[in-house]
Chains A and B, each alone.
Chain A
Amino acid sequence: MLTAQWLYALTGCVVMALGLRAALLHPSLLRRVLAINIMGTGVFMLLVAVAYRGPDLAPDPVPHALVLTGIVVAVSATALALALARRLAREHADD
Protein backbone atom coordinates (compact mmCIF):
# COMPACT_ATOMS: atom_id res chain seq x y z
CA MET A 1 0.00 0.00 0.00
CA LEU A 2 1.73 3.05 -1.33
CA THR A 3 0.04 6.11 0.11
CA ALA A 4 1.54 9.56 0.24
CA GLN A 5 1.36 9.39 4.04
CA TRP A 6 3.61 6.35 4.01
CA LEU A 7 6.00 8.11 1.62
CA TYR A 8 6.20 11.13 3.96
CA ALA A 9 7.05 8.80 6.85
CA LEU A 10 9.60 6.99 4.70
CA THR A 11 11.23 10.33 3.77
CA GLY A 12 11.47 11.03 7.51
CA CYS A 13 13.39 7.74 7.94
CA VAL A 14 15.75 8.57 5.06
CA VAL A 15 16.45 12.10 6.38
CA MET A 16 17.06 10.69 9.86
CA ALA A 17 19.57 8.16 8.54
CA LEU A 18 21.38 10.82 6.47
CA GLY A 19 21.64 13.06 9.54
CA LEU A 20 22.80 10.26 11.82
CA ARG A 21 25.52 9.18 9.40
CA ALA A 22 26.86 12.74 9.00
CA ALA A 23 26.67 13.44 12.75
CA LEU A 24 28.88 10.42 13.43
CA LEU A 25 31.34 10.85 10.55
CA HIS A 26 31.83 14.55 9.90
CA PRO A 27 34.97 16.02 11.48
CA SER A 28 33.69 19.62 11.73
CA LEU A 29 31.80 20.47 14.95
CA LEU A 30 29.45 22.94 13.26
CA ARG A 31 28.53 20.35 10.63
CA ARG A 32 27.83 17.81 13.38
CA VAL A 33 25.41 20.17 15.13
CA LEU A 34 23.71 20.79 11.78
CA ALA A 35 23.53 17.04 11.11
CA ILE A 36 21.92 16.36 14.50
CA ASN A 37 19.30 19.02 13.67
CA ILE A 38 18.57 17.35 10.32
CA MET A 39 18.33 13.99 12.05
CA GLY A 40 15.82 15.43 14.54
CA THR A 41 13.77 16.92 11.72
CA GLY A 42 13.60 13.45 10.14
CA VAL A 43 12.17 12.04 13.39
CA PHE A 44 9.68 14.94 13.62
CA MET A 45 8.60 14.29 10.04
CA LEU A 46 7.94 10.65 10.88
CA LEU A 47 5.79 11.65 13.89
CA VAL A 48 3.81 14.24 11.90
CA ALA A 49 3.16 11.65 9.16
CA VAL A 50 1.93 9.14 11.76
CA ALA A 51 -0.38 11.79 13.28
CA TYR A 52 -2.17 12.35 9.95
CA ARG A 53 -5.63 10.73 9.93
CA GLY A 54 -6.96 11.53 6.48
CA PRO A 55 -8.41 14.70 4.97
CA ASP A 56 -11.73 14.44 6.84
CA LEU A 57 -10.49 13.80 10.38
CA ALA A 58 -8.41 16.30 12.38
CA PRO A 59 -4.88 14.92 12.88
CA ASP A 60 -3.89 13.39 16.23
CA PRO A 61 -2.78 16.41 18.37
CA VAL A 62 -0.59 14.36 20.75
CA PRO A 63 2.29 13.70 18.29
CA HIS A 64 1.97 17.35 17.18
CA ALA A 65 2.51 18.51 20.76
CA LEU A 66 5.47 16.11 21.05
CA VAL A 67 7.04 17.56 17.91
CA LEU A 68 6.52 21.16 19.09
CA THR A 69 8.27 20.27 22.36
CA GLY A 70 10.98 18.53 20.38
CA ILE A 71 11.63 21.55 18.15
CA VAL A 72 12.13 23.82 21.17
CA VAL A 73 14.38 21.30 22.93
CA ALA A 74 16.38 20.91 19.69
CA VAL A 75 17.00 24.65 19.40
CA SER A 76 18.10 24.87 23.08
CA ALA A 77 20.49 21.97 22.58
CA THR A 78 21.81 23.59 19.38
CA ALA A 79 22.37 26.89 21.16
CA LEU A 80 24.22 25.23 24.05
CA ALA A 81 26.33 23.09 21.68
CA LEU A 82 27.33 26.13 19.61
CA ALA A 83 28.21 28.13 22.74
CA LEU A 84 30.42 25.22 23.89
CA ALA A 85 32.05 25.01 20.45
CA ARG A 86 32.67 28.76 20.50
CA ARG A 87 34.34 28.50 23.90
CA LEU A 88 36.42 25.60 22.58
CA ALA A 89 37.53 27.70 19.59
CA ARG A 90 38.56 30.51 21.98
CA GLU A 91 40.61 28.08 24.09
CA HIS A 92 42.32 26.80 20.93
CA ALA A 93 43.04 30.37 19.82
CA ASP A 94 44.78 31.05 23.15
CA ASP A 95 47.25 28.20 22.68
Chain B
Amino acid sequence: MSPLSLTLFDILLLVSIVVLAWTALTSADERRSVILFMAFGLVVALAWGRLLAPDVALAEAAIGAGLSGALLLAALRELPSAVTASGDGRRSHALRHYATQGTVSVLSVALAGMLAWILTAHFEGPARDELARAVTSHLELSGVSNPVTAVLLNFRGYDTLLELAVLLAAVLGILTLGPGRAAYRPSGPIFDALTRWLTPLLLVTAGYLLWVGAHAPGGAFQAGATLAAAGIVLRLAGSEWIGLPRDGAVLRLVMAAGVGVFLVVGVSLLVLGRPFLGYPPAWAGALILLIESAATLAIAATLVLAFIGGRLPTEADRKGDAVTAPAAGAGANPDPSDDGEPRPC
Protein backbone atom coordinates (compact mmCIF):
# COMPACT_ATOMS: atom_id res chain seq x y z
CA MET B 1 0.00 0.00 0.00
CA SER B 2 1.82 3.11 -1.15
CA PRO B 3 1.65 5.97 1.32
CA LEU B 4 -0.22 9.17 0.63
CA SER B 5 2.40 11.84 1.20
CA LEU B 6 1.54 14.13 4.07
CA THR B 7 1.18 17.77 3.15
CA LEU B 8 0.32 20.89 5.06
CA PHE B 9 -3.11 20.75 3.40
CA ASP B 10 -3.80 17.30 4.89
CA ILE B 11 -2.78 18.43 8.35
CA LEU B 12 -4.99 21.53 8.12
CA LEU B 13 -7.93 19.39 6.92
CA LEU B 14 -7.55 16.83 9.69
CA VAL B 15 -7.16 19.43 12.42
CA SER B 16 -10.22 21.36 11.21
CA ILE B 17 -12.27 18.15 11.06
CA VAL B 18 -11.54 17.30 14.69
CA VAL B 19 -11.97 20.90 15.87
CA LEU B 20 -15.27 21.34 13.98
CA ALA B 21 -16.62 18.03 15.35
CA TRP B 22 -15.61 19.02 18.88
CA THR B 23 -17.10 22.54 18.71
CA ALA B 24 -20.30 21.28 17.03
CA LEU B 25 -20.76 18.83 19.92
CA THR B 26 -19.88 21.19 22.76
CA SER B 27 -21.13 24.62 21.63
CA ALA B 28 -23.68 26.00 24.09
CA ASP B 29 -25.91 27.38 21.31
CA GLU B 30 -27.78 24.70 19.35
CA ARG B 31 -28.13 26.82 16.22
CA ARG B 32 -24.38 27.40 16.11
CA SER B 33 -23.92 23.71 16.73
CA VAL B 34 -26.00 22.76 13.64
CA ILE B 35 -24.19 25.26 11.42
CA LEU B 36 -20.81 23.96 12.63
CA PHE B 37 -22.06 20.46 11.81
CA MET B 38 -22.79 21.53 8.22
CA ALA B 39 -19.30 23.06 7.95
CA PHE B 40 -17.91 19.82 9.35
CA GLY B 41 -19.69 17.85 6.58
CA LEU B 42 -18.25 20.08 3.87
CA VAL B 43 -14.69 19.80 5.21
CA VAL B 44 -15.10 16.01 5.47
CA ALA B 45 -16.24 15.99 1.82
CA LEU B 46 -12.97 17.78 0.94
CA ALA B 47 -11.01 15.13 2.82
CA TRP B 48 -12.77 12.39 0.86
CA GLY B 49 -11.95 14.15 -2.39
CA ARG B 50 -8.33 14.03 -1.22
CA LEU B 51 -8.68 10.25 -0.69
CA LEU B 52 -9.88 9.86 -4.32
CA ALA B 53 -13.51 9.18 -3.32
CA PRO B 54 -15.42 11.80 -5.37
CA ASP B 55 -18.70 9.81 -5.40
CA VAL B 56 -18.75 9.67 -1.62
CA ALA B 57 -17.60 13.29 -1.31
CA LEU B 58 -20.51 14.45 -3.52
CA ALA B 59 -23.00 12.44 -1.47
CA GLU B 60 -21.61 13.75 1.82
CA ALA B 61 -21.73 17.37 0.65
CA ALA B 62 -25.29 17.03 -0.70
CA ILE B 63 -26.84 14.67 1.87
CA GLY B 64 -24.62 14.56 4.95
CA ALA B 65 -23.94 18.28 5.18
CA GLY B 66 -26.77 19.81 3.11
CA LEU B 67 -29.93 17.81 3.74
CA SER B 68 -29.16 16.61 7.27
CA GLY B 69 -28.27 20.21 8.12
CA ALA B 70 -31.53 21.47 6.61
CA LEU B 71 -33.49 18.85 8.57
CA LEU B 72 -31.74 19.82 11.82
CA LEU B 73 -32.23 23.55 11.20
CA ALA B 74 -35.94 23.04 10.52
CA ALA B 75 -36.26 20.97 13.70
CA LEU B 76 -34.38 23.59 15.72
CA ARG B 77 -37.34 25.97 15.74
CA GLU B 78 -39.72 23.43 17.20
CA LEU B 79 -37.47 21.56 19.58
CA PRO B 80 -36.69 23.69 22.62
CA SER B 81 -33.62 22.31 24.36
CA ALA B 82 -36.02 21.43 27.15
CA VAL B 83 -37.05 18.37 25.13
CA THR B 84 -34.49 16.01 26.54
CA ALA B 85 -33.89 12.32 26.39
CA SER B 86 -34.11 11.67 30.13
CA GLY B 87 -36.70 12.49 32.71
CA ASP B 88 -36.29 14.64 35.81
CA GLY B 89 -33.99 13.94 38.68
CA ARG B 90 -30.99 13.12 36.57
CA ARG B 91 -28.99 15.99 37.95
CA SER B 92 -29.94 15.22 41.55
CA HIS B 93 -26.81 13.19 42.26
CA ALA B 94 -23.81 15.22 41.15
CA LEU B 95 -21.48 12.37 42.04
CA ARG B 96 -23.39 9.87 39.92
CA HIS B 97 -23.49 12.39 37.08
CA TYR B 98 -19.71 12.77 37.07
CA ALA B 99 -19.22 9.02 37.40
CA THR B 100 -21.38 8.42 34.30
CA GLN B 101 -19.53 11.10 32.36
CA GLY B 102 -16.17 9.69 33.34
CA THR B 103 -17.10 6.09 32.48
CA VAL B 104 -18.56 6.98 29.08
CA SER B 105 -15.54 9.14 28.23
CA VAL B 106 -13.07 6.40 29.21
CA LEU B 107 -14.99 3.75 27.25
CA SER B 108 -15.21 6.00 24.14
CA VAL B 109 -11.46 6.63 24.25
CA ALA B 110 -10.84 2.90 24.74
CA LEU B 111 -13.02 2.07 21.71
CA ALA B 112 -11.17 4.62 19.55
CA GLY B 113 -7.84 3.26 20.75
CA MET B 114 -8.83 -0.30 19.95
CA LEU B 115 -9.98 0.70 16.45
CA ALA B 116 -6.74 2.62 15.86
CA TRP B 117 -4.74 -0.44 16.93
CA ILE B 118 -6.66 -2.71 14.54
CA LEU B 119 -6.20 -0.17 11.73
CA THR B 120 -2.46 0.04 12.35
CA ALA B 121 -2.22 -3.73 12.05
CA HIS B 122 -4.30 -3.56 8.87
CA PHE B 123 -2.10 -0.92 7.24
CA GLU B 124 1.11 -2.74 8.19
CA GLY B 125 -0.05 -6.07 6.83
CA PRO B 126 -0.16 -7.05 3.14
CA ALA B 127 -2.69 -5.18 0.98
CA ARG B 128 -6.08 -6.96 0.97
CA ASP B 129 -7.70 -6.00 -2.31
CA GLU B 130 -9.30 -9.21 -3.64
CA LEU B 131 -12.70 -7.48 -3.84
CA ALA B 132 -11.31 -4.44 -5.65
CA ARG B 133 -9.60 -6.69 -8.20
CA ALA B 134 -12.76 -8.76 -8.65
CA VAL B 135 -14.73 -5.57 -9.39
CA THR B 136 -12.11 -4.32 -11.86
CA SER B 137 -11.96 -7.62 -13.75
CA HIS B 138 -15.76 -7.87 -14.11
CA LEU B 139 -16.41 -4.18 -14.70
CA GLU B 140 -17.11 -4.54 -18.43
CA LEU B 141 -19.93 -7.03 -17.71
CA SER B 142 -21.68 -4.56 -15.39
CA GLY B 143 -23.06 -2.23 -18.07
CA VAL B 144 -21.45 0.88 -16.53
CA SER B 145 -17.85 2.05 -16.28
CA ASN B 146 -17.99 3.82 -12.89
CA PRO B 147 -16.93 1.05 -10.46
CA VAL B 148 -18.94 2.52 -7.55
CA THR B 149 -22.16 2.51 -9.61
CA ALA B 150 -21.32 -1.02 -10.77
CA VAL B 151 -21.05 -2.22 -7.15
CA LEU B 152 -24.16 -0.32 -6.01
CA LEU B 153 -26.55 -1.24 -8.81
CA ASN B 154 -25.15 -4.49 -10.17
CA PHE B 155 -22.71 -6.52 -8.07
CA ARG B 156 -24.34 -5.60 -4.75
CA GLY B 157 -27.80 -4.73 -6.03
CA TYR B 158 -29.39 -6.48 -3.03
CA ASP B 159 -27.85 -3.93 -0.65
CA THR B 160 -29.18 -0.99 -2.62
CA LEU B 161 -32.65 -2.57 -2.88
CA LEU B 162 -32.73 -2.98 0.89
CA GLU B 163 -31.39 0.55 1.35
CA LEU B 164 -34.28 1.92 -0.69
CA ALA B 165 -36.59 -0.19 1.49
CA VAL B 166 -35.06 1.46 4.60
CA LEU B 167 -35.72 4.87 3.04
CA LEU B 168 -39.33 3.90 2.31
CA ALA B 169 -39.80 2.57 5.85
CA ALA B 170 -38.44 5.83 7.30
CA VAL B 171 -40.77 8.02 5.23
CA LEU B 172 -43.76 5.82 6.12
CA GLY B 173 -42.83 6.27 9.77
CA ILE B 174 -42.66 10.05 9.31
CA LEU B 175 -46.03 10.15 7.53
CA THR B 176 -47.75 8.30 10.38
CA LEU B 177 -46.53 10.84 12.96
CA GLY B 178 -49.06 13.47 11.93
CA PRO B 179 -49.25 16.53 9.72
CA GLY B 180 -46.10 18.26 8.58
CA ARG B 181 -45.18 21.88 9.01
CA ALA B 182 -47.40 24.44 7.34
CA ALA B 183 -45.89 26.29 4.40
CA TYR B 184 -43.62 29.21 5.20
CA ARG B 185 -44.69 32.76 4.39
CA PRO B 186 -44.14 33.63 0.70
CA SER B 187 -40.68 35.07 0.26
CA GLY B 188 -39.80 38.58 -0.89
CA PRO B 189 -38.84 39.54 -4.45
CA ILE B 190 -35.10 38.98 -3.98
CA PHE B 191 -35.37 35.39 -2.78
CA ASP B 192 -38.07 34.80 -5.42
CA ALA B 193 -35.71 35.88 -8.18
CA LEU B 194 -33.04 33.57 -6.76
CA THR B 195 -35.54 30.69 -6.67
CA ARG B 196 -36.42 31.21 -10.31
CA TRP B 197 -32.74 30.77 -11.21
CA LEU B 198 -31.80 28.13 -8.69
CA THR B 199 -34.66 25.66 -9.19
CA PRO B 200 -34.16 24.98 -12.92
CA LEU B 201 -30.40 24.85 -12.34
CA LEU B 202 -30.85 22.20 -9.62
CA LEU B 203 -33.24 20.19 -11.82
CA VAL B 204 -30.74 20.16 -14.70
CA THR B 205 -27.89 19.28 -12.32
CA ALA B 206 -29.91 16.36 -10.92
CA GLY B 207 -30.56 15.03 -14.43
CA TYR B 208 -26.88 15.41 -15.30
CA LEU B 209 -25.72 13.61 -12.12
CA LEU B 210 -28.13 10.75 -12.81
CA TRP B 211 -26.90 10.33 -16.39
CA VAL B 212 -23.19 10.82 -15.72
CA GLY B 213 -23.20 8.29 -12.84
CA ALA B 214 -22.74 5.47 -15.36
CA HIS B 215 -19.17 6.48 -16.17
CA ALA B 216 -18.10 9.26 -13.77
CA PRO B 217 -18.80 10.33 -10.16
CA GLY B 218 -22.55 10.77 -9.67
CA GLY B 219 -25.58 8.51 -9.55
CA ALA B 220 -29.06 8.10 -8.16
CA PHE B 221 -28.30 9.21 -4.59
CA GLN B 222 -26.50 12.40 -5.53
CA ALA B 223 -29.17 13.16 -8.17
CA GLY B 224 -32.02 12.46 -5.73
CA ALA B 225 -30.44 14.72 -3.11
CA THR B 226 -30.03 17.54 -5.66
CA LEU B 227 -33.66 17.16 -6.75
CA ALA B 228 -34.71 17.26 -3.09
CA ALA B 229 -32.63 20.43 -2.66
CA ALA B 230 -34.74 22.03 -5.42
CA GLY B 231 -37.86 21.07 -3.45
CA ILE B 232 -36.43 22.54 -0.24
CA VAL B 233 -35.54 25.82 -1.99
CA LEU B 234 -39.15 26.07 -3.25
CA ARG B 235 -40.42 25.23 0.22
CA LEU B 236 -38.30 28.02 1.73
CA ALA B 237 -39.74 30.39 -0.88
CA GLY B 238 -43.18 29.67 0.58
CA SER B 239 -44.49 27.13 -1.92
CA GLU B 240 -46.69 24.51 -0.32
CA TRP B 241 -46.77 21.76 -2.92
CA ILE B 242 -43.18 22.13 -4.15
CA GLY B 243 -43.92 20.13 -7.28
CA LEU B 244 -45.02 16.99 -5.43
CA PRO B 245 -48.02 15.27 -7.04
CA ARG B 246 -51.25 16.60 -5.49
CA ASP B 247 -52.91 13.24 -5.83
CA GLY B 248 -52.07 11.14 -2.77
CA ALA B 249 -52.12 7.91 -4.77
CA VAL B 250 -49.60 9.28 -7.29
CA LEU B 251 -47.38 10.53 -4.47
CA ARG B 252 -47.40 7.11 -2.83
CA LEU B 253 -46.53 5.57 -6.19
CA VAL B 254 -43.52 7.90 -6.55
CA MET B 255 -42.38 7.12 -3.00
CA ALA B 256 -42.50 3.39 -3.68
CA ALA B 257 -41.03 3.68 -7.21
CA GLY B 258 -37.43 2.98 -6.14
CA VAL B 259 -38.18 -0.32 -4.42
CA GLY B 260 -40.97 -1.13 -6.92
CA VAL B 261 -38.97 -0.82 -10.15
CA PHE B 262 -36.03 -2.62 -8.56
CA LEU B 263 -38.27 -5.55 -7.54
CA VAL B 264 -40.08 -5.67 -10.91
CA VAL B 265 -36.75 -5.85 -12.73
CA GLY B 266 -35.44 -8.51 -10.34
CA VAL B 267 -38.54 -10.68 -10.53
CA SER B 268 -38.83 -10.32 -14.34
CA LEU B 269 -35.26 -11.62 -14.63
CA LEU B 270 -36.21 -14.57 -12.40
CA VAL B 271 -39.14 -15.34 -14.72
CA LEU B 272 -36.78 -15.18 -17.70
CA GLY B 273 -34.60 -17.81 -16.03
CA ARG B 274 -31.80 -15.58 -14.80
CA PRO B 275 -30.78 -15.08 -11.16
CA PHE B 276 -32.58 -12.36 -9.15
CA LEU B 277 -31.09 -9.02 -10.28
CA GLY B 278 -28.65 -10.91 -12.55
CA TYR B 279 -28.84 -8.56 -15.53
CA PRO B 280 -27.84 -9.90 -18.96
CA PRO B 281 -24.66 -7.88 -19.81
CA ALA B 282 -26.19 -6.51 -23.02
CA TRP B 283 -29.12 -4.99 -21.10
CA ALA B 284 -27.34 -4.07 -17.90
CA GLY B 285 -26.69 -0.43 -18.77
CA ALA B 286 -30.31 0.29 -19.71
CA LEU B 287 -31.72 -1.59 -16.70
CA ILE B 288 -29.40 0.27 -14.31
CA LEU B 289 -30.46 3.62 -15.78
CA LEU B 290 -34.15 2.63 -15.43
CA ILE B 291 -33.71 1.60 -11.79
CA GLU B 292 -31.64 4.69 -11.03
CA SER B 293 -34.23 7.04 -12.56
CA ALA B 294 -37.00 5.55 -10.41
CA ALA B 295 -34.73 5.61 -7.35
CA THR B 296 -33.89 9.29 -7.95
CA LEU B 297 -37.57 10.26 -7.92
CA ALA B 298 -38.27 8.14 -4.83
CA ILE B 299 -35.26 9.51 -2.94
CA ALA B 300 -36.16 13.11 -3.80
CA ALA B 301 -39.82 12.68 -2.75
CA THR B 302 -38.76 10.97 0.48
CA LEU B 303 -36.23 13.64 1.44
CA VAL B 304 -38.64 16.49 0.68
CA LEU B 305 -41.37 14.84 2.77
CA ALA B 306 -38.80 14.40 5.53
CA PHE B 307 -38.10 18.15 5.38
CA ILE B 308 -41.84 18.89 5.62
CA GLY B 309 -41.80 16.54 8.61
CA GLY B 310 -45.06 14.67 8.05
CA ARG B 311 -47.93 14.30 5.63
CA LEU B 312 -48.86 17.43 3.72
CA PRO B 313 -51.19 19.41 5.98
CA THR B 314 -54.86 19.06 5.05
CA GLU B 315 -57.64 21.63 5.42
CA ALA B 316 -58.64 20.13 8.78
CA ASP B 317 -55.09 20.38 10.17
CA ARG B 318 -54.94 24.04 9.31
CA LYS B 319 -58.02 24.73 11.40
CA GLY B 320 -56.14 23.34 14.39
CA ASP B 321 -58.27 20.22 14.21
CA ALA B 322 -55.37 17.81 13.93
CA VAL B 323 -56.88 15.13 16.15
CA THR B 324 -59.94 14.51 14.04
CA ALA B 325 -58.17 14.89 10.71
CA PRO B 326 -58.73 11.88 8.48
CA ALA B 327 -55.74 9.57 8.65
CA ALA B 328 -55.38 9.63 4.90
CA GLY B 329 -52.00 9.39 3.23
CA ALA B 330 -49.87 12.36 2.32
CA GLY B 331 -51.76 14.97 0.42
CA ALA B 332 -54.91 12.88 -0.03
CA ASN B 333 -56.99 16.04 -0.04
CA PRO B 334 -56.02 18.49 -2.74
CA ASP B 335 -55.75 21.89 -1.21
CA PRO B 336 -57.97 24.46 -2.89
CA SER B 337 -56.63 27.40 -0.89
CA ASP B 338 -53.23 27.45 -2.59
CA ASP B 339 -53.94 30.61 -4.49
CA GLY B 340 -50.50 32.19 -4.18
CA GLU B 341 -48.76 33.42 -7.28
CA PRO B 342 -47.55 30.64 -9.55
CA ARG B 343 -44.21 29.17 -8.65
CA PRO B 344 -41.63 27.99 -11.13
CA CYS B 345 -42.24 24.31 -10.64
Contact = CB atoms under 8 A, between A and B. Distances in A.
Interface of A: 1-11, 13-22, 24-35, 37-38, 41-42, 44-46, 48-56, 58-62, 64-65, 67-69, 71-80, 82-90, 92
Contacts of B268: none
- Interface size range on B against A: 35 or more
Contacts of A28: 30, 81, 83-85
Nearest to B64: A71
B60 interface: yes
A57 B291 CA distance: 30
A64 B148 contact: yes
Interface in B195-245: 219, 221
B56 A46 contact: no
14 contacts: A6-B119, A15-B18, A17-B109, A18-B108, A21-B104, A27-B86, A30-B76, A49-B51, A53-B127, A58-B132, A58-B136, A64-B148, A71-B63, A82-B309
B174 A80 contact: yes
Nearest to A32: B85
B292 interface: no
Given A9-B123, A41-B41, A75-B67, A58 B152 contact: no
B299 A4 contact: no
Given A17-B112, A48-B51, A55-B2, A10 B84 contact: no
A37 B76 CA distance: 16
A56 B52 CA distance: 11
A65 B156 contact: yes
B163 interface: yes
B1 interface: yes
Contacts of A62: 131-132, 135, 151, 156
B34 A34 contact: yes
Most buried by A among B64, B105, B173, B302: B64
A6 B116 CA distance: 9
A61 B21 CA distance: 27
Given A82-B75, A87-B177, A16 B120 contact: no
Interface stretch (B4-12, B259-267, B332-340): B4-12
Contacts of A80: 170, 173-174, 306
Contact of A58 (B56, B63, B147): B147
Contacts of B84: 27-29
Contacts of B166: 72-73, 76
B101 interface: yes
B24 interface: yes
B163 A73 contact: yes
Given A53-B132, A59-B51, A79-B71, A20 B4 contact: no
Given A16-B112, A62-B131, 17 more contacts: A1-B124, A4-B7, A5-B4, A17-B111, A24-B108, A34-B37, A48-B51, A53-B1, A61-B132, A73-B163, A76-B302, A79-B174, A82-B72, A82-B79, A83-B310, A92-B82, A92-B83
A23 B123 CA distance: 29
Contacts of A13: 112-113, 115-116, 119
B25 interface: yes
Most buried by A among B5, B21, B78: B21
Contact of A83 (B68, B119, B173): B173
A3 B123 contact: yes
B136 A45 contact: no
B28 to A, nearest CB: 11
B140 interface: no
Interface string B8-24: 00100010011001101
Contacts of B148: 61, 64-65, 68
